[in-house]
Amino acid sequence: MKFRVLLLLLTSVLTGCINRPATQTPTDSQPQVTPVQTYRTPSEDLLQKLLKATNAARAVARKCGNDFHQAAPPVVLNIRLIAAAQDHAEDMATHDFFDHHGSDRSDVVVRALRYNYNYRMVGENIAAGYPDVQATVDGWLTSPGHCRNLMNPEFREIGFGFTRKSGTEYGSYWVQVLGVQRSRVL
């Protein structure tokens, strides 16, 4: 368990938990948008448990590393962010790796765009090897970068991905994608 937490913290330091405003353009060409009917999602029960644990964490003021964060408003589920998160969880399990970049070198921005999420800002938290929802959320809260994403009051929507695969290094892969959409101009 200590190894997994250390790895989670090291990953946070090395990757910065990708939290980009929309003014930054992905390095790849525009990704092909995935049709809605092909979206894969975790069970509704698991999504609700993850949402409840995340919103409970956001409801409490806390320190993330050296930064103090006031309690943040609750987030709501977004099907496009769920699909982007599930896509990355399955990719990590299928190819047996743990990284913010996918096996195709995509990042959270590219994955959000693949699922037609019209973002202003998007961020991602990943975890591996944790046995359940609460342990995963607690792990994110102990990592300053992941905690900052989770507590960012600008994020309004969220998606989760989860998959379990035996024979992989970690066995379980968790992804949390947070976002806020661009305002629509009428």
Average model confidence (pLDDT) for the chain? Answer: 85
Q: Residue 87 maps to which CATH number?
A: 3.40.33.10
Residue 9 lies in a domain: no
Is it the case that residue 20 has pLDDT exceeding 70? no
Residue 94 lies in a domain: yes
Q: Which pLDDT score is estimated for 183?
A: 77
What is the pLDDT confidence band of residue 147, given thresholds at 50, 70 and 90? very high
Contacts of 127 (CB under 8 A, 6+ apart): 8, 136, 139, 140, 146, 173, 174
Give the structural domain span for 162: 44-181
Is it the case that residue 27 has pLDDT exceeding 90? no
User: Per-residue pLDDT averaged across 32-59, rounded?
Assistant: 85
Residue 1 lies in a domain: no
Residue 120 lies in a domain: yes
Is it the case that residue 6 has pLDDT exceeding 50? no
What is the pLDDT confidence band of residue 33, given thresholds at 50, 70 and 90? low
Q: Which pLDDT score is estimated for 186?
A: 52
Residue 39 lies in a domain: no
Residue 148 lies in a domain: yes
Q: Which two tokens stand for residue 7?
A: 């790895």
Q: Which two tokens stand for residue 156?
A: 């309004």
Report the number of distinct structural domains present in the chain. Answer: 1
Cβ-based burial of 8 (10 A; exposed 0-12, middle 13-18, buried ≥19): buried
Q: pTM above 0.85?
A: no
Residue 123 lies in a domain: yes
Count CA atoms closer than 13 A to 127's CA, side-chain side. Answer: 28
